Amino acid sequence: MTATTTAITTSPPRFVRADGPDKVTGSGRYTADLSLTGVLAAKFRYANIGHARIVRLDVTAARAMPGVFAVLTADDVPDVRFGPFVQDRTLFARDVVRFEGEIVAAVAAVNAVVAQRAVDAIVVEYEPLPVINDIEAALSVESALVHPDWQSYGAADALVRDRNDASFASITKGDVGAGMAAADHIIESRYVADGCHAVPIEPRAVVAQWEGNKVTIWTTTQVPFDARAGVCETLQLPTNRVRIIVPHLGGGFGGKCGFHYEAHIAALARVAKRPVRLVFTRREEFIAPDRRRESIVFNIETGVLDDGTITARRAWLAMDNGAYTADAAFFSQLAAMHTAGPYRIPNVQVEAHLVYTNHQPSGSVRAPTAPQACWALESHTDEVAAAVGIDPVEFRRRNAVDTGAVGPSGQTYGEIGLQQCIDLAAGGAGYGQPLPDDEAIGVAIGWWPSFSVPSGAYIKIDGDGAGQIITGAQECGTGSVMTLRDLAADELGMKPEDFELVYQDTAVAPYDMGATGSQTLLNNGRAVIAAAGQVAEQLKKLAADHLEAAEADIVLADGHAYVAGTPATTVSLVELAGIAAGGQLLIGHGSSTPAEAPPLAGSSCVGDLGMAAFVAPQFSCHAVRVKLDRDTGVARVLHVSAAHDSGIIINPIGAHGQVEGAVMMGIGQALSEGTTYDDQARQRNAALLEYKLQTCADAPPILVQFVEIFTPDAGPRGAKGLAEAPNIATAAAISNALAKLIGRPVRQLPMTAERVWNTIQGDAS
Amino acid sequence: MSFVIATTIAEAVAAMASGARPIAGGTDLVVGARHGKAALPQHLVAIDRIEALLVVHDTADGVTIGSGVSHSVLESHPLLASAYSGLADASALVGSPSTRNLGTIGGNIMNASPAMDTGAPLLVLGAQVELQSMRGSRRVPLSELWTGPGRTSAAPDELCVMVHIPTPLVRSGSAYLRLEYRRAMEIAVVGAAACVVLDEDGFVVSASVALTAVAPTIIMVDGLHSLAGANVPEAAVRVGVLAAGQATPISDVRASAQYRRHTVGVMARRAVEAAARRAAGDIVAIPLNRAIGIGAAS
Ligand SMILES: Cc1cc2nc3c(=O)[nH]c(=O)nc-3n(C[C@H](O)[C@H](O)[C@H](O)COP(=O)(O)OP(=O)(O)OC[C@H]3O[C@@H](n4cnc5c(N)ncnc54)[C@H](O)[C@@H]3O)c2cc1C
């Protein structure tokens, strides 16, 4: 194990992102920048009401307006229900609207002004239905149902569903009743996290153009192959007639995962017989997509001995699914894992419900469920530590999992670095040193699985020695696609600049899951190394012929092939590429093989979607110093010390960037970012003035440290993922600092100034 | 729809006489229109290139600030920073660097938002605006200008040309601060400005205090003459209580009325404390928010 303690103040190693110059000089093109001859503007008619039956929908006037080329409703597209786990959704509302951002109709017109006028001219009359606005109330047997026909929907076999409960999961280990009975103390806590948003700075955009029976769709997706699958499913097209291209993507954070408006725009373009472009406003970006971070209610109970040993944990949680089940079905099991936490607890019983409401649908946002669950669990953990009078850091050292320990779902961990993360984060924060009485340091630990999935890439080297990496991977800003050049270059003894990347185009590259699940480098990195390995073999064979040496003795380095031991016997790769161009071409392909899920022993899981076994688990500890203005409840983060075990770090500057950005997102979740609803289930703060992101001016110094341990099931060279893990523990650590300053925890997330002030006043509501 | 670019005050008031609305930085007008608050006026006259409106004059009886002066000039102007610190405190908080480069004092005043930042310090500093139209010009104390959210007593054809602030009394100091949830791109949850005059022994001679975002307009706190002779800590506490009592805030997505009422008292107390320190000759960095850490301890 090596602990690299590279603070951001030390000069990071040089890494030139292939997409960097385009992005910083403005020469890069994003989807909304694209212009095609005759392109029309699209606008949607939204429900703007939480729950209602459509009693009249009349588009006659809109269709008759000059400049309007197409107006579509549910009657104009195939009658298909879709959804990755539960097929509960249609492209356009049919009979009933279930959240304010549901699309009732779509218009394509000469420009956005005419399109909006046509949208306004669509006549819709509603009969209001009961609005389901509260997660816990929705679970009661008296509650009206968001989907009365839920039983008739297609759904994944593993799902456990009942009424408004779209996905139930439980994790059971040992005998929680006996564990509680054996405890000296039982601590019970309730925490409630509000929903929040991914807020990519680029609002989404889609451009679609048909040529004959084939459609090309330029779109702001993090998951091009998923988007393609959605178009194929809903418009009933084979995959080879739908081409998804993603120009530069202006951020995603999970908000642009899934399949969104590609099919609507393709359908409009087909009817209009013209290319069509959709560009979202910021308000649409807030209310419409089925990807926002879910609100969760937590009830957690822990039994502990006087000496600080945890004997049992019981938890119940209910998550806001919103009106449709996007990819959130697996959240139940994932949130259950995060509420059990990376602790050695012999007896565990966690139950999690994913509950339909009339809110915007939830979906994967950077480490889905984990920041909220970590916030609740780790705030609770400090309450437990306080009950037995043990320092919170020491309490975690004693109870957190370590190498060889068994986790809450019965997984035995290999060599892991959580304990080292605790030491590094606390040490980096100066934990234990005296502080002014309005400052405190809070500490929290987190974990996250690596997602091992199929992924492919090609590499070719043309006659002039220039390389291309053709990959299905999607770059959402993290730099992981950009890092692929370094991997290929290393395999081939070339320079990263010798390669251009061809990416984000489903028609030219093999499958990849997309910029989701921190999986790009983990899986596509292995595919690229495999593809480069094939080309290396081809080069070595050519070099062996050329140098009259044995293939096994050829070494590729510094743009040359030479014979091991006699570096003077050499030929340049450019020369070899020229030879290859006249004969056997230099082409490699690679595909990563998913690792097997680690075995679980002694636990049982209901609603199992594969989230209880963590492949190559990542661990983290954040220690955050917070200053509190007790008169107003305004808190400010003064310093963040983040330590991560994400395996071997391949690109240090990119890794630092991931942690810094995720910490800032975590500070926002902790203090200022949360969606509030009116009594009709409409968002009250769907705008950047009222939905408060953190700004550069708010950023504290962030110390980033890595514990680098080689893990067999990880990605290339032992790298695990890193895009999501650093987003998990920040809010929890801030909560624990605030609780120290106030004397009790703030039980609602975000811990806004007013909520903090209310807690100081003794109102724990 | 018409758009005229005026280069003199005369051109601007002529355009306004025929129905044009002035646009200075456009950071309220254009942004508001984009957000659907109010459509852009049919007829606009751009006033940002009128040089006569871009001046800051040190005069015998105070300072005269052209309505077109931007917040970035106001926050860094040495005269304002030293003698009219409360105004500089306010301008330094507006939006972001780009908002401060474009946004003007005239636009801030005439937009008449109850959450505007320069309003409270201008009130406690006793500022007047000079309004000009084809019919002539007149001076209006700020206390008589704002009549409601987004409403002023100015006629539609009157251009705000100058802001006049009288010379501060000896041993006086002013300060403004606001409650904010983040350090940039923020709007006052509540705010307070104070102008405090001290005697040679450091006791209060007089104080005036104005409050932001707790009523339909910026309001002055009443009943402060009783503070004469009080020591500063005591005066600050009493101002805080009076401010909270006189505020009539609303509940909205940003804060509840109860929280606003409480925090405006805290802001008022701190504004008095900081103004008194400045009156006593202490240097308190601008903006006060950053110096004492509301939403911003560093
Ligand atoms: C991102 C952002 C952040 C902001 N943050 C803040 C903040 O923190 N605090 C704050 O107080 N404000 C803030 N604002 C609001 C705005 O920037 C300020 O009010 C600014 O001072 C307005 O000046 P302007 O020149 O841009 O006004 P404009 O938009 O040009 O005009 C505003 C109104 O005043 C009228 N007007 C302008 N000049 C004159 C004149 N000379 N005579 C008569 N009428 C006139 C216009 O017709 C219009 O009705 C923010 C705005 C944005 C976009």
* Interval A390-447: pLDDT, tens: 999 999 999 999 999 999 999 999 999 999 999 999 999 999 999 999 999 999 999 9
d(Cα A184, Cα A173) in Å, to the nearest integer? Answer: 20
Rounded Cα distance between A674 and A695, Å, is 16
- ω before A750 within 30° of 0 (cis)? yes
How many residues are present in chain B? Answer: 298
Q: What is the per-residue pLDDT for A7?
A: 36
Confidence band (pLDDT; 50, 70, 90) for B247?
A: very high
Cβ atoms within 10 Å, residue A141: 7
For chain A, residues classed under CATH 3.30.365.10 are 31-129+198-287, 296-451+599-675+699-760, 455-592
Inform me whether the C-beta atom of residue A201 falls under 8 Å from chain B C-beta atoms: no
For residue A696, the chain B residues in CB contact (below 8 A) are 184
Range A189-214 average pLDDT: 97
Q: Indicate whether B167 belongs to any domain.
A: no
Query: What's the gap between Cα B88 and its chain centre?
Result: 9
pLDDT in tens, B84-126: 999 999 999 999 999 999 999 999 999 999 999 999 999 999 9
Residues constituting chain A: 765
In a domain, B54, yes or no: no
* CB nearest to B253's CB, from A685, A693, A757: A685
Residue A375 class from Cβ within 10 Å (0-12 exposed, 13-18 middle, 19+ buried)? buried
Domain assignment of residue B160, yes or no: no
* Domain presence at residue B58: no
Q: Is the CB of B119 under 6 A from ligand 1?
A: no
- Give the pLDDT of residue A17: 87
Question: What are A592-616's pLDDT values in tens digits?
Answer: 989 999 999 999 999 999 999 999 9
Would you call A751 exposed, middle or buried from its count of C-beta atoms within 10 A (0-12, 13-18, 19+)?
Answer: buried
Ligand 1 binding pocket includes B114 (Cβ within 6 Å)? no
Residue span of the structural domain in which B199 resides? 172-291
> Given an 8 Å threshold on Cβ–Cβ distance, is A631 in contact with B296?
no
Query: Which residue in chain A is spatially nearest to B240 when comparing CA positions?
Result: A631
Scanning A561-602, the segments in alpha helix (DSSP H) are 573-581
Min distance A757 CA to chain B CA atoms (Å): 8
Residue A12's pLDDT is 52
- Name, in order, each residue with C-beta under 8 angstroms of A745's C-beta and a sequence gap of 6 or more: A189, A191, A379, A382, A383, A735, A736, A738, A739, A759
Higher pLDDT, B295 or B201: B201
CB atoms within 10 A of CB B248: 12
Residues 631-660 of chain A whose Cβ lies under 8 A from any Cβ of chain B: 631-632, 634, 636, 638
Please give the share of chain A, as a percent, with pLDDT higher than 70. Answer: 98
**Residue A327: its pLDDT value, please?**
94
B298 touches chain A (CB under 8 A): yes
**Distance (Å, whole) CA A512 – CA A503:** 10
Amino acid at position A373, single letter: A
Given a contact cutoff of 8 angstroms between Cβ atoms, the answer to whether A721 and A370 are in contact is no
Interchain contact, B297 vs A687, CB within 8 Å: no
Q: Which of B253, B293, B298 sits opposite A676 (nearest CB)?
A: B253
The pLDDT value given to residue B293: 75
- State the average pLDDT over residues B77-87: 96
Determine if residue A244 is left, alpha or beta; phi over 0 gives left, psi from -120 to 50 gives alpha, anything else beta: beta
What is the reported pTM? 0.96
Nearest Cα to Cα of residue A217 among A202, A230, A198 = A230
C-beta atoms of B184 and A695 within 8 A? yes
* B185, B256, B298 ranked by CB distance to A754: nearest: B256
How many domains is chain B built from?
A: 1
Predicted confidence at residue B297, as pLDDT, reads 45
What's the whole-number mean pLDDT along residues A315-323? 98
**Residue A5 confidence (pLDDT):** 41
State if residue B102 touches ligand 1 by the CB under 6 angstroms criterion: yes
Judged by DSSP in three states, A403 sits in: coil
pLDDT-based confidence at residue B37 (cuts at 50, 70, 90): confident
Q: Kindly state whether A672 is in contact with chain B, defined as any CB-CB distance less than 8 angstroms.
A: yes
Flag if B295 and A684 touch (Cβ within 8 Å): no
| Number of C-beta neighbours around residue A263 at 10 A | 27
Q: Can you give the pLDDT at residue A8?
A: 36
- List C-alpha distances in Å: A537 to A528, A540, A717: 14, 5, 20
The predicted-structure confidence for A486-539, as pLDDT tens digits, reads as follows 999 999 999 999 999 999 999 999 999 999 999 999 999 999 999 999 999 999
Ligand 1 atom 9, closest CA: B94
| Dihedral sign computed on CA atoms, order B46, B51, B53, B55 | positive
- Residue A705 CB neighbours (<10 A): 22
- Report residue B298's pLDDT band, with 50, 70 and 90 as the boundaries: very low
Q: Say what the alpha-carbon torsion angle B56, B54, B126, B221 is, to the nearest 10 degrees.
A: -130
Provide the angle, in degrees to the nearest 10, between the axes of the packed helices A730-742 and A753-760: 30
Q: Please report, rounded to a whole number, the percentage of residues in chain A having pLDDT higher than 90.
A: 95
Any domain includes B104: no
Yes or no, beta carbons of A634 and B294 under 8 Å apart: yes
Is residue B128 pLDDT above 70, yes or no? yes
Name beta bridge partners: A708. A2
Kindly give the distance from the C-alpha atom of residue B233 to the centroid of ligand 1, in angstroms, as a whole number.
35
Indicate whether A268 pLDDT > 60: yes
What single-letter DSSP state applies at residue A597? P
Q: Chain A residues with CB inside 8 Å of B259's CB?
A: 754, 757-758
Quick one: CATH architecture of A455-592?
2-Layer Sandwich (3.30)
Please give the pLDDT value at position A763. 66
Q: Is B178 domain-assigned?
A: yes
- Tell me if B287 is assigned to some domain: yes
Q: Hey, what CATH class is A31-129+198-287 in?
A: alpha beta
Which of these, A575, A461, A601, A610, lies nearest to A157 by C-alpha position? A610
Cα B186 to Cα A695, B99, B183, distances in angstroms:
10, 11, 7
CATH topology of domain A296-451+599-675+699-760: Aldehyde Oxidoreductase; domain 4 (3.30.365)
List the CATH number of the domain containing B253: 3.30.390.50
* Distance between CA atoms of residues B105 and B163, nearest Å: 8
B297/A636 Cβ within 8 A: yes
Average pLDDT of chain A is: 95
Nearest CB partner across the interface for A692, out of B181, B262, B293: B181
Question: What are the tens digits of pLDDT across the range A139-177?
Answer: 999 999 999 999 999 999 999 999 999 999 999 999 999
